[in-house]
Amino acid sequence: MTDTTRTSESETKVPSARSATASESAEADRTTIADNVVAKIAGMATREVGGVYEMGGGAARAFGAVRDRIPGSTSTSTAARGVTVEVGERQAAVDLQFVVEYGVAIPDLVSAVRRNVVTGVETMTGLEVTEVNINIEDIHLPEEDEGGGSSQAEPRVE
């Protein structure tokens, strides 16, 4: 009987020793998420919202268009265009620049963008998003797609 008691004592001690080792290991482990990863997530989350026409400011869009045409260029992903982030150990701050579609309610749009960015970044990275700052760079007009304005306007009178 004495042997049986010792065996059960050692069995109860072994699992607790193993769980202590596992928790010590978890405290020593570290995961680092690069700024460009958070920027890409935020950029994709922004593009998912209807009413966002294009990401980035005028200069960034123009430079990106030129850079994308150069064969073999190792440009940063277009997913992160118009996105700037600061990433800490537990938190991230996001700055966005984009162009909106004409006719969209901008206050509703930016609320939806903020909500989508916070949800996407926090879900995928586990980082707390402390702020999402938005700069609306321009508004896209429907006639800009139809040829950029005709060279001759129709006469107003006959």
| Mean pLDDT score, 67-95 | 82
**Which residue, among 75, 135, 139, has the nearest Cα to 110 in the 3D structure?**
135
Q: Are 64 and 75 in contact (CB under 8 A)?
A: yes
* Start-to-end Cα distance in the chain: 115
- Confidence at residue 101, expressed as pLDDT on a 0 to 100 scale: 97
The CATH class, in words, for 35-142 is alpha beta
List, for residues 34-53, the tens digit of each pLDDT value: 999 999 999 999 999 999 99
List, for residues 8-19, the tens digit of each pLDDT value: 444 444 444 444
**Residue 44 vs residues 19, 47, 48, 120, 142: alpha-carbon distances, Å:** 39, 5, 6, 9, 23
| Mean pLDDT score, 96-115 | 98
Domains of the chain, residue spans? 35-142
DSSP string, 102-158: TTS-HHHHHHHHHHHHHHHHHHHH--EEEEEEEEEEEEE-GGGTTTSS-SSPPPS--
| Mean pLDDT score, 2-27 | 47
**Which residue carries 């460009």 as its tokens?**
36
pTM reported for the whole predicted model: 0.68
Range of lowest pLDDT (33-42, 50-59, 103-112, 139-148): 139-148
